[in-house]
Amino acid sequence: MITVTKTRNILDLNKFNEDAKAHNSKITYVIKIGDDSLRFSLSSELDGAEHTALDSFVAAFVDTDPEDKRPKIYDLVKSEAKTKHHHNIDYKKEVLTALIPKRTIVKGEVRKVEWFQSLDAQMSPINKVIEVDVVYTRDTTGFATSRVTTRKWINRDESENDEYKLTSKYYFLNPSEMIMEGNKRRGLLVDSIIIPTLTFMTEALVPLGYTQESVVLKGRKFMDDYESEFNKFKHNSSTITDPADPDFGEKSIVIRFRDESKTEYVEWLDKSSPSLGGSVTIRQYLMSEFAI
């Protein structure tokens, strides 16, 4: 057996083996001898230039600790879950302390859920553990036909683990699920616009002398007045159905937002706010959100 020994402590021996074989085809495998020695098994002797090149390769190899590429979830789960593949760990039930979800909702669709370990002193989520991305496919009428969910686990070094998980759901196979998804989406849309709209109202009205409490009361009055429209939108996606109507095909609630002329609402509906970028009005925001 032909061998040669070089000095360096390597953590990721598997990667080093792959790169060493690619560096010189005479290298068959590499083993560690102690902490700082590497023994190269060779198919034939190296010449002087090859020894020099191998020294340079060993010195230049970018080493990483394989443990850094291990998903963080293993540091947070109960002992009985540590032997599972990370795809099979129930990150809602098998963790020692519940993870904190942060959801990104776009027009009633949950597009992303980021799961964090904790909150910092400013109550911002920190130490992301898992990221879930969701993509819907819809037909021309807006019904969901399918959904693809991609789950990505975050490693200890903050990189994304190479082994992500894809799952699919096919709504069209069970038409009732298409209806249920629509109901859920529209309900979530209504719920998700309330706090942003109150924020925009506050930014627009407080400079005019209104108090925070009075703005909230105005928001509640608006929700009361629009209760019928919100409920029709949630439960049957109420739409203008008369082909002779110039608004044919538009959502009924969008038309009401567009045509709202009550002074008590116009005073803030047609104002923008810093959170809307200063150019989009609250009325335009609401019309856009409900145009699904």
Q: Each residue of 202-253: pLDDT tens digit?
A: 999 999 999 999 999 999 999 999 999 999 999 999 999 999 999 999 999 9
Q: What angle do CA 132, 134, 89 make, to 5 degrees?
A: 35
Cβ of 254: how many Cβ atoms within 10 Å? 21
pTM over 0.85: no
- Using pLDDT thresholds of 50, 70 and 90, give the confidence band for residue 106: very high
pLDDT at residue 66, as a whole number:
80
pLDDT at residue 95, as a whole number:
95
- How buried is 49 (Cβ within 10 angstroms: 0-12 exposed, 13-18 middle, 19+ buried)? exposed
Residue whose token pair is 């109550």 = 123
Helix (H) or strand (E) holding 283: helix 282-290
Q: Phi/psi class of residue 102: alpha, beta or left (left: φ > 0; alpha: ψ in -120 to 50)?
A: beta
- Using pLDDT thresholds of 50, 70 and 90, give the confidence band for residue 132: very high
